[in-house]
Amino acid sequence: MTGSSKLSILAAALMLSTFGSTSLARAAPNEQFFPLATYRVGAYASSGIPVWAGMIDYLRYINEVEGGVNGVKFVWQECESEWTAEKGIECYERFKKGLDGAPVAIYHPNGAPAAYALSDKAAADRIPLITLGYGRTEATDGSVFPHNFPVMLTFYSEASVFINYVAQQEGGFDKLKGKKIATVYHDSAYGRETQGPLDLLAKKYGFENIQIPVADPGNEQSAQWRQVRQAKPDWVFLRTWGVSTPVAIKTAARFGFPANRIVGDIWASSNEDVLPAGDAGKGYLALTPYPGGAEFEIHKRIKQHILDKGKSDLKDPKSFGSVYYNSGLINAAIAVEAIRAGQKKFGNRPLTGDEGRWGLENLNVDDARLKQIGFHGLMQPLKLSCNDHEGGGAAKVQQWDGAKWNLVTDWVHADRKTLRPLIDAKSAAYAKEKGITPRDCSKES
Amino acid sequence: MIFFLETLIGGLLAGTMYSLVAIGFVLIFKASGVFNFAQGAMLLFSALTFVSLQEHGIPFLQSLLLTVVVIVIGAVAIERAVLRPLMNRSQITLFMATLGLSFILEGLAQGLMGAEVRALDLGIEDTPLMLGEVMVSQFDLVAASTAAVLVTVLALLFNKTHIGISLRAVADDTRAALSIGINLNRIWQIVWAVAGCAGLVAGLLWGARQGVQFSLSLVVLKALPVLIIGGFTSIGGAIVGGLIVGAAENLAEVYVGPSIGGGITPWFAYFLALVFLHVRPAGLFGERAIERV
């Protein structure tokens, strides 16, 4: 082959890939752009892949079965972030101006590093960030953080849900006095986030609060579980992430600590966390705002219209209804409902970031609405406001039986009233540091 | 005292798991002077190949044999496509080549076999075993025994076979080995295949503990301080280095960690390695480089 013919082929391939990808992603004037900063490769790909499938399947369902949101269809495009801050920022910069005229109303950073890195940037660009189950807890205070939405369950709330669940099991809050509760946590900002609320709750209820850190990546934890064995706690709150979760469950078994006395947090509650642990995972408990299971109404609808027609983004159908798949469904549903709420004020058209933020702050997904959209039982009622960017504040507790998760409680609610002063103090400190004048939420509507 | 003993023994046994990873590095460094950055990716690739074959219903032994065949083919391919064209280039060039190779292998592994987490059951009990009042892990005992067997097999290979003697000749003086007709390309292929098999053993044991997933490639981070302490050219050094790192980081986490915030295991191993670098730059059993100036 001559040099010139090689060049011709290369040019043709480049043209094909350029125009091909553009036409696939080209948006019509009445479309809403849904940016997807994904991680399909790298250390956390196994967690991410089912999440994107849940998001994409739901958007496809909305487009193809419901004809979009009041006629406005979604168009989406992916950007590989590898769960890193730097690539997460690159993706955001690429996406923030929309896609061929289709605007961005809501952005999912999909990862704690990117969420922290984008917090101020998104505020400057007036694009709201949804961080379900991660991100800054103090962003619950929307007067200081108008563009951050740690919806449904912050780390403070999950700590409170855990203590409330333990109290239920022990027979009441008065029985917590003198109990030993250990937290084995990923030694990072995420892992340390529950230390404040657990300190507060330990003082309130009189239990001993033991904190044992596990450094990243946490693939060897003998020292930590030997400390657990020595401390003889009544319960362990497992706040790990990635590989450190199955290793913790297996090491706990090796040191004779019963799995049914370990409660995993939101990031230690997926199928991917327990499958590698094998038999050691049987009986393991975990709290989650998006329980596993494919028996909910929305799954029947998606199975009928998307999965059975071969349109699902899932490569492995076994992941249908997995915890992470369901988290993708819920993440997408919150955005869709916020856009629907925003359209009531701004009209049935694609929304901008400011309008998307208004939609989120006026979101009210009650039981009746959850039944309509097929999420009843899978998702908790969610009502957000300027003053409360979390809403919800509840989780269900599920237990692994070696093959699947079984729900063992209904929604367990956090004691948000007790924790709120901590959140307000943190948000006030942030406002002072950054020179932010908090909004007057009584004037927001 | 019982708790101290238990921590020490547990740490020593955990250290043998690090040694298993370090041995793969030593084999390649010893024969070619190349620090193989792709050892973690090879470990991931081989373990993923094994579980993927098992998922297709192929029995344990056949899966193991087929994985070894894949490793041998991979070693020949790496030697031909990566190492041979770069022969006589500087060590940093070869190191950069292995860096690129690690990304290719990781991408290939995930692309061909999927990114999802796989459980791996080797049939080894991972329940506590009481030796008097001291509790030890059965799994760690098996891992330690495996390391002992691996070292014995490698010692026999290096000392009692024609291939092993050729390997040692190349390691001692490449030019002299070439001058007496030893085929360097073939030696490199064999070394990479043996290092791949050592990686498979490590990958299976680590995979059984944490699941076979991308993060398997990160266990090499545990091997680096082991190599610095034990020396890059000694298999025995890898074992001793692993024992030192395992015991030291466990004792440090339990007795020093709580007073400085805990979570110190990853950096404590490197701190220890730095101390050794000051005292014995070539490691405990490494060969000291003497150059005419």
User: How long, in residues, is chain A?
Assistant: 445
pTM for the model = 0.86
Least confident range of A11-15, A134-138, B145-149, B250-254: A11-15
Name the residue among A215, A230, A277 with its Cβ closest to that of B263. Answer: A215
For residue A307, what pLDDT is reported? 96
- Quote the CA–CA distance of B282 and B293 in Å, as a whole number: 19
Size of interface A-B (CB pairs under 8 A): 120
Q: Which two tokens stand for residue A320?
A: 């249908």
Interfacial A residues in 234-253 facing B (CB < 8 Å): 242-243, 246-247, 250, 253
Mean pLDDT (chain B) is 89
Residue B198 lies in a domain: yes
A278 at interface of B, judged by CB pairs closer than 8 A: yes
Cβ contact, residue pair B137, A222, below 8 Å: yes
Give me the phi and psi of B57, to 5 degrees please.
85, 10
Helix-helix angle A222-231:B2-32, to 10 degrees: 170
- Which range marks the domain in which residue B95 is found? 2-279
For residue A8, what pLDDT is reported? 45
Contact A223, B4 (CB under 8 A): no
> Which residues of chain B lie closer than 8 angstroms to A213, CB-CB?
257, 261-263
Residue B265 lies in a domain: yes
For residue B291, what pLDDT is reported? 64
> Which residues of chain B lie closer than 8 angstroms to A217, CB-CB?
215, 218
For residue B210, what pLDDT is reported? 84
Pick the residue with more confidence: B87 or A333?
Answer: A333
Q: Which residue has the tokens 């791949």?
A: B196
Interfacial B residues in 13-32 facing A (CB < 8 Å): 14, 17
> Which residues of chain B lie closer than 8 angstroms to A323, CB-CB?
none
pLDDT at position B175 over 60: yes
> Which residues of chain B lie closer than 8 angstroms to A42, CB-CB?
214
For residue A27, what pLDDT is reported? 53
Contact B7, B253 (CB under 8 A): no
Interfacial B residues in 62-121 facing A (CB < 8 Å): 107, 110, 114-121
Q: A188-192, A198-202, B260-264, B272-276 — which one is most confidently predicted on average?
A: A198-202
B253 at interface of A, judged by CB pairs closer than 8 A: yes
In three-state secondary structure terms, B36 is coil
Residue B292 lies in a domain: no
Residue B52, amino acid? S
A43 at interface of B, judged by CB pairs closer than 8 A: yes
Chain B interface test: which of A38, A47, A220, A318 (most B C-beta within 10 Å) = A220
The number of domains in chain B is 1
Residue B286 lies in a domain: no
Kind of pairing, strands A208-214 and A180-186?
Answer: parallel
Cβ contact, residue pair B222, A220, below 8 Å: yes
* Backbone CA torsion sign across B97, B99, B105, B108: negative
Residue B285 lies in a domain: no
For residue A234, what pLDDT is reported? 98
Alpha-carbon distance B236 to nearest alpha carbon in chain A (angstroms) = 22
pLDDT at position B97 over 70: yes
Q: Which of A117, A152, A113 is nearest to A132 (CA)?
A: A152
Cβ contact, residue pair B115, A213, below 8 Å: no
B4 at interface of A, judged by CB pairs closer than 8 A: no
A222 at interface of B, judged by CB pairs closer than 8 A: yes
Nearest residue of B to residue A228, measured between CA atoms: B254
For residue A317, what pLDDT is reported? 87
Residue B291 lies in a domain: no
Alpha-carbon distance B122 to nearest alpha carbon in chain A (angstroms) = 11
For residue A16, what pLDDT is reported? 41
Residue B232 lies in a domain: yes
Residue B288 lies in a domain: no
Interfacial B residues in 206-235 facing A (CB < 8 Å): 206, 209-215, 218-219, 222
For residue A54, what pLDDT is reported? 97
B77-86 pLDDT, tens digit each: 999 999 889 8
Residue A94, amino acid? R
Give the contacts of B152 (CB within 8 A, at least 6 positions apart): none
How would you class A45 by CB atoms within 10 Å of its CB: exposed for 0-12, middle for 13-18, buried for 19 or more?
buried
Cβ contact, residue pair B211, A220, below 8 Å: no
Q: Which two tokens stand for residue A227?
A: 């400390």
Least confident range of A344-358, B37-51, B163-177: B163-177
Q: How many CA atoms lie within 13 A of B281 on its CB side?
A: 3
- Tens place of pLDDT for every residue, chain A, 445 residues? 444 444 444 444 444 443 333 334 455 579 999 999 999 887 788 889 999 999 999 999 999 999 999 999 999 999 999 888 999 999 999 999 999 999 999 999 998 889 999 999 999 999 999 999 998 899 999 999 999 999 999 999 999 999 999 999 999 999 999 999 999 999 888 899 999 999 999 999 999 999 999 988 888 898 899 899 999 999 999 999 888 999 999 999 988 899 999 999 999 999 889 998 989 999 999 999 999 999 999 999 999 999 999 999 998 888 999 999 999 999 999 999 999 999 999 999 999 999 999 999 999 999 999 999 999 999 999 999 999 999 999 999 999 999 999 999 999 999 999 999 999 999 999 999 999 999 999 887 6
- Quote the CA–CA distance of B276 and B229 in Å, as a whole number: 6
For residue B289, what pLDDT is reported? 67
Cβ contact, residue pair B115, A220, below 8 Å: no
A255 at interface of B, judged by CB pairs closer than 8 A: yes
A215 at interface of B, judged by CB pairs closer than 8 A: yes
**How many C-beta atoms lie closer than 10 Å to residue A170's C-beta?**
16
Kind of pairing, strands A285-288 and A262-264?
Answer: parallel
Beta-ladder partners of A102: A99
Pick the residue with more confidence: A2 or B194?
Answer: B194
Name the residue among A41, A219, A276 with its Cβ closest to that of B107. Answer: A41
What is the separation of C-alpha B21 from the centre of its chain, rounded to a whole number of angstroms? 2
For residue A31, what pLDDT is reported? 96
Cβ contact, residue pair B14, A211, below 8 Å: no
What is the separation of C-alpha B55 from the centre of its chain, rounded to a whole number of angstroms? 25
For residue A443, what pLDDT is reported? 82
Q: Which two tokens stand for residue B26?
A: 């030593």
Give the 3-state secondary structure of chain A.
CCHHHHHHHHHHHHHHHHHHHHHHHCCCCCEEEEEEEECCCCCCHHHHHHHHHHHHHHHHHHHHCCCCECCEEEEEEEEECCCCHHHHHHHHHHHCCCECCECECCECCCCHHHHHHHHHHHHHHCCCEECCCCCCHHHHCCCCCCCEECCCCCHHHHHHHHHHHHHHHHCCHHHHCCCEEEEEEECCHHHHCCHHHHHHHHHHHCCEEEEEEECCCCCCCHHHHHHHHHHCCCEEEEECCCCHHHHHHHHHHHCCCCHHHEEECHHHCCHHHHHHHHHHHCCCEEEECCCCCCCCHHHHHHHHHHHCCCCCCCCCHHHCCCHHHHHHHHHHHHHHHHHHHHHHHHCCCCCCHHHHHHHHHCCEECHHHHHHHCCECCECCEECCCCCCCCCCEEEEEEECCCCEEECCCCEECCHHHHHHHHHHHHHHHHHHHCCCCCCHHHCC
What is the separation of C-alpha A414 from the centre of its chain, rounded to a whole number of angstroms? 17
Q: Domain containing B55 — which CATH number?
A: 1.10.3470
> Which residues of chain A lie closer than 8 angstroms to B3, CB-CB?
226, 230
Q: Give the percent of chain B with pLDDT over 70.
A: 98
Kind of pairing, strands A285-288 and A394-400?
Answer: antiparallel
